[in-house]
Every structure is written in structure tokens, then in C-alpha cells.
Structure 1
Amino acid sequence: MLSKFQHIHLVSLVGYCDDCEEMILVYDYMSRGTLADHLHKRVRNGNNSLPSLTWVQRFKFCVGATHGLDYLHTGTSVESGVIHRDVKSTNIVLDENGATKISDFGLSKTGPANQIRTYVSTHVKCTVGYPDAFYVSTHQLIRKSDVYACGVVLFEVLCGRPAVDKSLDEEQMNLAEWDQITNPNIKRETFPDSLSAYIKVAIKCLY
């Protein structure tokens, strides 16, 4: 299935190795690491090798990731659409040119394309902080589950903090439930109308 995917915002499968006990998947090398690295690692570790992201860079990364996700849901060459099932900032990676790509399809599920209400029954497997309540409570996986997780990533990019931060108070621990989200530095870099439009899109992903 992965070998059929051709999109600028998806990590390409180069090939595989199945030799004796060695089983390896080979993907394009993403030299600039993950989006999470650039959002959190620099701040957490004082890593000066990772420059601070400007608002324009953050915005472009989000646009690229959402294009890749839309392709999975509606535009793949397989008969069924694909639900990624593990959309998060560590699965959004950057190549040497700074292009954003979605990676890690290990939890992905296929389902009928272009039917948003069609679901796949499955055990809940995901990363804490990103799954939607419908999926968790019903085990019914739909495209909206990916969209919800994408909304969490959008807020993660906006405020520069992880989806879950256990060092914070309980009411602030989960990013999707926190209402004080905008990084002050981001406010200074953007026009109010642009920032407002971005936040409205992110909120719509969560509801």
C-alpha cells in the first residue's frame, strides 16, 4: 500500500529488507528531524543547533501536514482511503529543504474513501493527548479522529508546548483542554486577523 503513495507531503517508502531475521523498512531520510524537535527539544534542552521557528515557518509546516493528511483521506491510489491513526508532532518530519511530510504509518487503517461517517472498528492505539473522545469511548475510528489530532498539533505549533505536559497543573496538563494557548512571541509576529483565522480552524478540528 505504501509503495503506491505519491505525494510531496508524505515520506516515501524506498524499499524493504527481509533477510533471515532482519526485517527493515527503508524510507527517505528526513535530515531536519521532527516538528516536535523544533517545537520542544530546543526549549527543553537549550539546543542551539535547532533555530527558533518563525510564525511563517510554523504556518507552512501546518499547511504541508494538512495537505498530506487530506491526500491520505481522499486522494490515495488505493481503493480505500487511509486513516493515519497516529497524527502527532513527532510523526511530522522535515527534509533538507524544510518541506513537511507525514511519517509512520504503522497504525494506519484503510476505510472507504470520501465517506466521513464510515468508521473502522478497532482497539484504541494512539498517543496520549491526541485521540478524540469519540474514538476512545466507542473504538470507532473515522477520518475525524485524524482531524482532531491535527487540531491538537495546530495548537501545539501555536503555543510551542507539548500536547501533554505532566509538569503543569491538572487543568493545564492537556493542551486540547487549555484555553490560554497563544505564545506571546507568536502574537508579536502575526497580524490579528491571520492569527484569529488560524485559531478558528484549529478549534473546528477539535469539535
Structure 2
Amino acid sequence: MTTTIAKFAHLQIPLEDVVKATNNFHDDNIIGHGGFGPAYKGQLQRSGKLIKIAARRLDRKHGEGDIEFWTEISALSDLKHKNLVSLIGFCNEKGEKIIITTYEVNGSLQEHLNSPNLTWTQRLRISVGVAHALSYLCYDEGRSYGVIHRNVNSSTILLDENWEVKLSGFEISIKQALNRMDQVILSEPIGTIGYMDPEIEKTKGVTHKSDIYSFGVVLFELLCGRRAYIKNEANRFLARLAKYHYENETLPDIIYLHLKNQMSLQSFHICSNLAYSCLKEQGADRPDKNNIVNELEKALEFQLSRENLVRPPYFLFSCCDFLYII
């Protein structure tokens, strides 16, 4: 552990600076709560510039979290991609463990799922951004390992001022040699309820296809405008509900109402077909990440082409009272 700490010494930020940046961790600056602990927004002076930050403060109530803390620092210090959150530094002082990243002004995707202001085109762009992030984690030229995220969900997908994706939440990620990415890594079933790959129970471990399953759930969240898991509801698991409707050709019944008159028929079909294929029971049957990127970019192109056309009068494509623009 001493060696690990020394490796990241250049990223250390004094506790005094973090306290000042967050106004002594004032409740007004709390921007979220996660398994790691509360996150605070703030402004930190770095290299002569005042930058906006998010400081995730490890909750020490349960006496755990050290491994997750160093796992995230290790991951984010190595990984650089436009669709990943950027690590600014960390604080490891006086019993405090705090991870400091850039502050993404539009918060998490989870906060906007049922917002009519988040258009279908924006949702497609977000899905493309997450797909690019996952593809990068799986493989990048010059890197000898891939990364299994294990916590892909709408709360770890952050959005910057331009609604660009910044994937976060690397505290339970696993590095794996590239030639072993398809092999099962023994693991406890850990993650966020509603997004976890059901194959983990059978194989007692994860592969990079476990992230594909979670991503499929996120795609259905974007389509349906609701969270993956809603406690105390009859249909509390979105994955199960979406698969049922897809297989019975009634998926339009659960599509988010405000999206129905925005979607091009092609983009809807591509996105829904892809989401369903990501939820295949067997990981081997799920699409690979490059295919996902290509399909979603194609869906976005169809949508943008439709928007760029001079709009004729609407024609109805009727399927369970679902309105498409054709």
C-alpha cells in the first residue's frame, strides 16, 4: 500500500484546501450520495486557476472503503478519454479519504430520465457517449489491459455543460489482461440493483459483457424515461418489464410519452433492438462494444437526418397508439 500511495503522491491535495473549496463540507454543497459516500461541489485553486470540482468523501461509518478508494484513483489516473470523468486529485489525511474530480454541471443522467426537456436526440447522443467510453475501457491501443467497470448505471453517467457524457464510479472496477477479457473473473455479486448481470449468479464472476448488460438497462431507461429499479412498484425492475414488452411487440406501450412524437422509426428500432440484445441471458450472445457504437451512431444519423428534413405533415404509424414521424 505504501508503494501505491507513493505512486500517486503528485495527485495529493491538502485537506485544508478541500475544506476551503467545499465551505467545510457544507450541506448546501452536497450534490449526491453514493455507495462511497456524499459528494460535494466546490471551487479549488489549482495552478493559478479557480476550477469547479466534485469531492467524494468516503463515509467511514462502516470502517471500509480503502480498497475502493485506491481502485478508483488507480483507474482514473491511467485512463484518459473525453467520455470519462477527469481526476484532479485526492486527499488522504487525518482519517479523511476524498476523491476530487471535475464538476459536471448537469449532474447525473438519473436526474433527467423523466425530464421532457431531455430530447430523443440528446438521449441518443448520451447513449453514443457511454458506448464510446465502454469501448475505450475494453480496449485502447498502447494499453496492455482492459477495464471492467462493474457499476454502469444512470447515476454514474455524468453530464457536463454541453450534455456530453462523463462516465464515473470506478471504485469497484477491475483491470484485466487484454487476452483474458472474455474469461470470467471470480467476484461477489456487487453493483447497483436493477443493473446487475444475472449471469454473475451462474458463473460466480464477471466479464466485460457484464457491463454490456448494464448498458442495455441504461438504454431502456433512456427509452422509457424511468429508473432501472423502483422500490415498492409491481414492475420495479425495468429490465424484466422491457424484455416482456419487447418480446410481445408492445414496447411502445412503455416508451416515455414525451419522446413518442420525436423519434424516427429507424432510430427507435435500432435502439430498442440493441437494448434488448444487450440483455441476453448469456454474455456470449450480447453484442460487442464496437458493434454497439456503430449501431447507435447509425441511429443518431437517422434521427438527425429526419430533423434536418423540411418537415411534411405528420403521418401516423400506428402500433398500440404509438406515434412515429415517417
Given the two structures, how large is their TM-score scaled by the length of structure 2? 0.57
- Secondary structure in 2 matching 1:152: helix
Based on CA coordinates, which of the two structures has the bigger radius of gyration? 2
Gaps of 5+ in 2: 1-73, 246-250, 281-326
Question: 1: distance between equivalents of 2:162 and 2:259?
Answer: 23
Residue of structure 2 equivalent to 1:110? 175
Residue of structure 2 equivalent to 1:67? 132
Superposition map of 1:49-198 within 5 A: 52-75=117-140, 78-113=143-178, 115-169=180-234, 172-178=235-241, 179=245, 180=251, 181-198=254-271
Residue of structure 2 equivalent to 1:17? 91
Higher mean displacement: 150-159 or 77-86:
77-86
C-alpha displacement of 1:127: 0.8
Alignment RMSD: 1.7
**1:151-184 residue CA offsets vs partner (Å, 9 max, x unmatched):** 0000001000110123432xx2211111243223
Asked whether the equivalents of residues 116 and 144 of structure 1 are also in contact (C-alpha less than 8 Å), the reply is no
C-alpha displacement of 1:11: 0.3
User: Kindly tell me: are residues 54 and 78 of structure 1, through their superposed partners in 2, closer, same or farther at Cα, counting changes over 3 Å?
Assistant: same
Residue 197 of structure 1 aligns with an amino acid whose one-letter code is I
Matched positions, count: 196
- Secondary structure in 2 matching 1:173: coil
C-alpha displacement of 1:88: 0.3
Residue 81 of structure 2 aligns with an amino acid whose one-letter code is H
Question: 2: distance between equivalents of 1:177 and 1:161?
Answer: 13
Residue of structure 2 equivalent to 1:47? none
User: Kindly tell me: are residues 114 and 93 of structure 1, through their superposed partners in 2, closer, same or farther at Cα, counting changes over 3 Å?
Assistant: farther
**1:39-85 residue CA offsets vs partner (Å, 9 max, x unmatched):** 14x5xxxxxxxx62110111101110111111111127652211000
- Secondary structure in 2 matching 1:93: strand
Percent identical among aligned pairs is 38
- Secondary structure in 2 matching 1:90: coil
User: Kindly tell me: are residues 114 and 100 of structure 1, through their superposed partners in 2, closer, same or farther at Cα, counting changes over 3 Å?
Assistant: farther
Residue 155 of structure 1 aligns with an amino acid whose one-letter code is F
Residue of structure 2 equivalent to 1:36? 110
Question: 2: distance between equivalents of 1:20 and 1:140?
Answer: 36
Asked whether the equivalents of residues 194 and 228 of structure 2 are also in contact (C-alpha less than 8 Å), the reply is yes
C-alpha displacement of 1:105: 0.4
- Secondary structure in 2 matching 1:188: coil
**1:107-162 residue CA offsets vs partner (Å, 9 max, x unmatched):** 10111226542121111111111011111332211011000000000000100011
Question: 2: distance between equivalents of 1:191 and 1:36?
Answer: 24
Higher mean displacement: 77-86 or 187-196:
77-86
C-alpha displacement of 1:106: 0.5
